[in-house]
Structure formats: structure tokens, C-alpha cells
Amino acid sequence: MAISSLHATTSLHSPCTTNTSFRQNQVIFFTTRSSRRGSTRHGGARTFQVSCSVDKPVVIGLAADSGCGKSTFMRRLTSVFGGAAEPPKGGNPDSNTLISDTTTVICLDDYHSLDRTGRKEKGVTALDPRANDFDLMYEQVKAIKEGKAIEKPIYNHVTGLLDPPELIQPPKIFVIEGLHPMFDERVRDLLDFSIYLDISDEVKFAWKIQRDMAERGHSLESIKASIEARKPDFDAFIDPQKQYADAVIEVLPTQLIPDDNEGKVLRVKLIMKEGVKNFNPVYLFDEGSSITWVPCGRKLTCSYPGIKFAYGPDTYFGNEVSVLEMDGQFDRLDELIYVESHLSNLSTKFYGEVTQQMLKHADFPGSNNGTGLFQTIIGLKIRDLYEQIIAERAGAPTEAAKV
């Protein structure tokens, strides 16, 4: 095994040969959370350990603001691949990393260059690029994609300090999730697929009021102030990343209830970029057509205000896209099979797999509306993408099931 430091010194501990055959490939997930703490990074040499016995991972990026459902999405995604995602065994109890048999999810907050105190002293937020080490982020994502282990920093959300690093081995699927997975062009170019969770200001505000007023006793004025304080950095550094995403899940206020301001009934769009390698957008009824569909009330139980679907081609930041939309919520998840039967290019392994996954996680937030449905669908599409990449590397044709 060859071990090289950032200073390019190399020592050979055991013979290492290039493995040109591919077993199961590995994917790495990087996870980023918004942080509120600050100082300087833990010192010491950082090392990259070459692991010759593993295949190169597939790398997925998930971008979103704080409190927009990244953690729930990750749980749905890792469930599609099987196995429970847990913190590294025997490591830092405050680690942000989640590891399963197939996936590793890392939090991009770990690449903060300033701890909580340091950010406060410099007057910057965690959303500001100046508070993050993008050079190290790029070096380590690149190393993982090349099949090398890394010593990844840890940002401690409990203490607000930068803890000593932890060893991360290349997995089959590597996901980077957080505030900035698509901000740096170098990191963006390493992604095999990217997703952006886009929660509208109205919905974000309604959610925060429900949580902070009901659960934490905050005043309406303090909630508004906290939202407005972070908005300039969000608009400048986080929101623009959605133009680069291969898929965007956009959450909007419902159009089924006039002047609704509670944010309980949602209109959700799945915006899918055309022409992405190994990714075929989902469609409703007839691919490429523009369709509005109100499901039959005898086959899908819908209390007020009902459910409405739409599908059609569009443009998004100058890119050709297909858009699938759901407004409203399900009363009975077991009846979702009726909707699933009218969707194509789902990349399911068997009839009813979307419904099965939704029922499996019925207690997850968003399971009764388009957020849970579209997160589940994207999880299945990522599995299909992964299998196609592995088959291509092995030089064998893939027969991805598209029910």
C-alpha cells in the first residue's frame, strides 16, 4: 500500500498493482450542514492513503440550505441501496459522517476553515466561501474518486471547534451533502450526479415559524430577523448552485388553496435536466407532451384540496428540462401504486417499488406529498445511474429495469 502526504513524500509498505477489473463500484456521499460556530483548523499533517483493493467510487452531490430536508433525503437514498447508515464505529462520537455497506455520506461543514469563534471574529457566516477550505475539499473528493483513503477534518457542531481528522475509506457510493457541493467548479466537475433542494421563501418561512414558535418559543419578530440575516449570503453563494444541478426538487406553496400561508399543503416540482449521461427523466403518460392530470377520486382517496399532477418540457437556466409536478397530498400511501402505474422511466426493479419504499418510510417528513415521492424517485434513478456506470467500467452492457 502506498501512502503519500500532502508534501508528496511516498513510502511503499506492500506491493500494489493496478486493478483493471471492476467488482462492485463504490460511491461516496459528502454531507454539508449549515453551522453557527468558528477558529482555526486542527493542525497536523494530512495524509492520503492509496487503497489498491477498492474500485473507484461514484460521487453524488446534494446541495441545499439548512433545514431543507437533506438528512431525510439521505435516509431515503441510503435505504434504496440497503443497509443502515451509521457514524464511523469507534471514532469521534460527534462525527458528521454516515457509513453503510454501500455508501458513505460526508458533511461539507467539515471543510470549514474557521470555527464558530473565528467566524464571529471575522464577521462571516458559514455560507460565506471565506469560511470554507475549498482547496482541501477538492483534493479530498478527487482522492476518494481515485480510490484513495483520506484523513477528513471534522467540524464539531456541539462545541463549534475543528476536531482532529478521521480516516475515510473509499466506498461504493460517495455523497457530498451540504451548502457548497457545486460552488467550486473543480469539485463540481468531479460529481457523477448532482441534486439541489430548492425550498421557496414562503414555504421556508412557514416551516421555520411552525418549528421555532411552536417547539422553541421564539417570537415571530426574532424568526423574521434570523431569516433576513442569512438571506444575502444564501442568495449570493447557495442559491446559484441550482443552475448546475442535474435534478432540482423545488418546493412551493400550493395553488389548490387560495392565499394559503400555512405551508402544510405543498406544490412540488421535479426538474430533470435532459441529456445527462446515464439519466433518463421520468415522465407522465406520454414522454415530451404537456399534461395536466387530476387522479380519479375512486382510485385515489383525496380529501380537500385534492391532488393535481402536471408534466411537460421546459427550460431552466438555459437548459432543456422535463418537469414533473405534484400539488396536494396523499391520504393513503398504499394507493400510491395507482399514481406509480402512470409514471414511466422510474428505474424500479419491480412493479410497485416506489410505493414500497414510500410505505417503508411513511413516518419520514414529506411522505404524504411530492417531496417524499420525488426524493424516492431520485434515489432509484441514482441506483440505476450507479449500475450503468459500473457496467460501463466493466465493459459489459447494462439492462437497467425501467418499469
Exposed, middle or buried: residue 185 (CB in 10 Å: 0-12, 13-18, 19+)?
Answer: exposed
* Grid coordinates of 234: 444564501
pLDDT band at 35 (very low <50, low <70, confident <90, very high): very low
| 337 contacts 330 by C-beta, under 8 angstroms | no
Q: pLDDT tens, 324-345?
A: 999 999 999 999 999 999 999 9
- Domain range list for the chain: 2-53
What integer pLDDT is reported at residue 226 of this predicted model? 76
User: In this model, does residue 213 exceed pLDDT 80?
Assistant: no
Per-residue pLDDT averaged across 108-136, rounded? 95
Segment among 63-72, 336-345, 370-379 with least mean pLDDT: 63-72
Query: Where does the pLDDT of residue 33 fall: very low under 50, low under 70, confident under 90, or very high at 90 and above?
Result: very low
**Residue 383 confidence (pLDDT):** 96
Among 398, 397, 360, smallest CA distance to 379 is for 360
Kind and range of the H or E run holding 173? strand 173-178
pLDDT of residue 194: 98
DSSP β-bridge partners for residue 193: 60
Grade residue 57 by pLDDT with cuts at 50, 70 and 90. very high
Quick check: 25 and 57 in contact, CB under 8 A? yes
